[in-house]
Amino acid sequence: MCGPGGAINVTGVTQSLAKNIRPITEHGANVLYQHGTLALLVPGLLEGTTTIGELLRHGDTGIGTGEGLDGELIILDGIAYKIGQSGVAERVPDDFTMPFANSHRAAYQYQCERTDIGLEELNKRIVEANGRANSFFSVIVHGTFSFMKTRAVIKQQAPYPTLLEVADRQAIFLRHDVTGTMLGYFSPVMFHGAAVAGFHEHFLSDDHTFGGHVLDAVLGHGKIYSQVFDTLVTHLPVDDPEYRNHDFSRDNIAEAITSAEGDTAH
Ligand SMILES: [Zn+2]
């Protein structure tokens, strides 16, 4: 499962603690808050309809994208950073707006350690180890990545393009031997459309000089922490005129998301 390299060493065999991870109801740490749905990005409803300040009222940890797909956001310890087309993380003010974002109150539980593992295998093993393929959960991987490939979408102007049109308007960044935090959310396959089924992961280096939406990675050595949610709160931009009047029946939501995002993330 998660080991070798796991937390408990039983006569030379390491075991993951993942099976013990349960939703924690104190301080609302069992609740995942989401503003918007990924589906509204598909036809290009990219207006910023919530703020960082509002998102922080629902959590101290999260990810998102800015208005017009302005960069990749990561919130750690109550501080929001944006990685734009320069690839360098910068702090964003409370009035920064977003069409889509997640946040929650961090109460992670230690799962295990992993060494020399690629992103796809790592993600697969995390799901297997905690046995929560039909639950929303968050993962933090902190450690040194021998390879990290990220992207940041370049801010678009209104009238906004569709998600498929914007997929090739992005900056790609590569780093080797970078230490930092990868923050991810896992969404069950039955929620594909509201989110991307599977993992959506963003990265921030410890020195804040690098980050973005994770496309590929190899973890050299790091610790994995998980937090399981039993409640999803979805806040919709019900008074946004574009959202009110849009006919989603003409958009092939699930196919467009799969095509634009692959099966790992937005
Ligand atoms: Zn992203």
72-93 tens-digit pLDDT: 999 999 999 999 999 999 999 9
Residue 140 falls inside a structural domain:
yes
Residue 13 falls inside a structural domain:
no
142-194 tens-digit pLDDT: 999 999 999 999 899 999 999 889 877 899 999 999 999 999 999 999 999 88
Rounded Cα distance, 137 and 149, in Å: 23
Residue 2 falls inside a structural domain:
no
Measured in Å, residue 65 CA sits from the centre of ligand 1 at 7
- pLDDT (mean) for 49-71: 97
Please give the residue range of the domain that contains residue 127: 23-261
Model confidence pTM above 0.75: yes
- Indicate the average pLDDT of the chain: 91
Measured in Å, residue 183 CA sits from the centre of ligand 1 at 10
pLDDT of residue 258: 84
Report every protein residue that has its C-beta within 5 angstroms of ion ligand 1. 213, 266
- pLDDT (mean) for 130-146: 96
Measured in Å, residue 9 CA sits from the centre of ligand 1 at 35
Residue 151 falls inside a structural domain:
yes
Residue-wise DSSP of the chain? ---SS-SEEETTEEE-SGGG-----GGGTTEEEEES-GGGGTTT-----EEHHHHHHS-SEEEEEETTTEEEEEEETTEEEEE-TT--EEE--TT-EESEEEEE----EEEEEEEEEEHHHHHHHHHHHHT-TTSEEEEEEEEEEEEEEEEEEPPP-SSPPPHHHHTTSEEEEEESSEEEEEEEEEE-GGGBTTB-SEEEEEEEETTSS-EEEEEEEEEEEEEEEEEEESEEEEE--TT-HHHHH--GGGS-HHHHHHHHHTTT--
Measured in Å, residue 259 CA sits from the centre of ligand 1 at 15
Measured in Å, residue 128 CA sits from the centre of ligand 1 at 23
Say if residues 140 and 108 touch (Cβ distance below 8 Å): yes
Measured in Å, residue 72 CA sits from the centre of ligand 1 at 6
Measured in Å, residue 1 CA sits from the centre of ligand 1 at 27
Measured in Å, residue 74 CA sits from the centre of ligand 1 at 9
Measured in Å, residue 230 CA sits from the centre of ligand 1 at 22
pLDDT of residue 10: 44
Measured in Å, residue 201 CA sits from the centre of ligand 1 at 6
Residue 6 falls inside a structural domain:
no
Measured in Å, residue 151 CA sits from the centre of ligand 1 at 8
Domain count, the chain: 1
Measured in Å, residue 150 CA sits from the centre of ligand 1 at 9
Question: Which CATH number do you get for residue 104?
Answer: 3.30.1330.80
Residue 85 falls inside a structural domain:
yes
Measured in Å, residue 196 CA sits from the centre of ligand 1 at 10
pLDDT of residue 15: 63
Residue 30 falls inside a structural domain:
yes
Measured in Å, residue 264 CA sits from the centre of ligand 1 at 10
Residue 17 falls inside a structural domain:
no
